[in-house]
Amino acid sequence: MRKKIYALIILGFVLNVDGRNQKSAPRIYDNSELEETVRFLNGKIEEIEQKICQIEAKIATLNQQNATLAEFVDKKLKEEKEKILWETMDKKTPEEIIKIAENMIENKKSEDAKNLLNVFLKKNPQSIYKGIMLFYLGNCYVNNGNLQEAALKYMESYKTNPKGRKANEALYNLSVCFGKLNKKQQQKSTLEKMLRDFASGTLAAQAKKDLAALE
């Protein structure tokens, strides 16, 4: 298709030049002249295609270089943000960090909360607050629309501390994620486990309603 377009453009140019150079009546091309014109056009088309290929190759190289540079810059920016964030929060207690993260989430700054929680977990991988931090990370992912990752965080939160203060909510939120992801069997299993482990919990009544709706 591209060849045909180039051919038409160049042919129009050639005929136009020929017409300007001759004030007399239009010429009638014989076969030899047409063949010569076609060869000329094919040569020009090949030249143009070679130049286009060269330009495309340069663009691809530049795009690759830009992508590599962008990745490098993003990595450095992330490292710098983490450093500043940790230096700012270094004197805060885990409970204070949790409160700050909660406030961020409530004010629709889930990405900032996610960065804060991830930095804490990176610096304190064995913290007794890990389960709670993971729970709030799940909330961040829910707010960002990433239900798959949210479900993983809620599951990890529960497994980290099955008797923790957020274990009940982690299981319930996990069941909600499964429901929205149309994983009804996993949702049902999670609700049943929640009611076994937390039969008198604050979310037990709602869990029973959700379970009944699945029957």
CA separation for the pair 9, 16 (Å, rounded): 11
* Average pLDDT score over the chain: 81
Quick one: pLDDT at residue 201? Answer: 78
Of 168, 106, 100, residue with least CA distance to 135: 168
Query: What integer is the mean pLDDT of 108-125?
Result: 90
Which of 18-22, 95-99, 195-199, 203-207 comes out lowest in average pLDDT? 18-22
Per-residue model confidence as pLDDT tens digits over 22-56: 444 455 555 676 667 667 666 767 777 787 888 88
E strand map for the chain: none
Residue 100 Cα distances to 19, 35, 136, 203, angstroms: 79, 79, 11, 25
Q: What are phi and psi for residue 92, nearest 5 degrees?
A: -85, 145
CA separation for the pair 82, 42 (Å, rounded): 59
| pLDDT for residue 20 is more than 60 | no
User: Which amino acid would we find at residue 46?
Assistant: E
| pLDDT for residue 88 is more than 70 | no
CA separation for the pair 135, 16 (Å, rounded): 74
The residue with tokens 């042919």 is 11
Which of the four pLDDT bands, split at 50, 70 and 90, describes residue 192? very high
Which of 145-149, 200-204, 205-209 comes out lowest in average pLDDT? 200-204
Query: What integer is the mean pLDDT of 105-109?
Result: 92
Quick one: pLDDT at residue 25? Answer: 46
Residues in the chain: 215
CA separation for the pair 68, 64 (Å, rounded): 6
The residue extents of the domains of the chain are 85-214
Residue 66 Cα distances to 30, 57, 60, 71, angstroms: 53, 14, 10, 9
Domain 85-214, architecture per CATH: Alpha Horseshoe (1.25)
> How many Cα atoms within 13 Å fall on the side-chain side of residue 136?
29
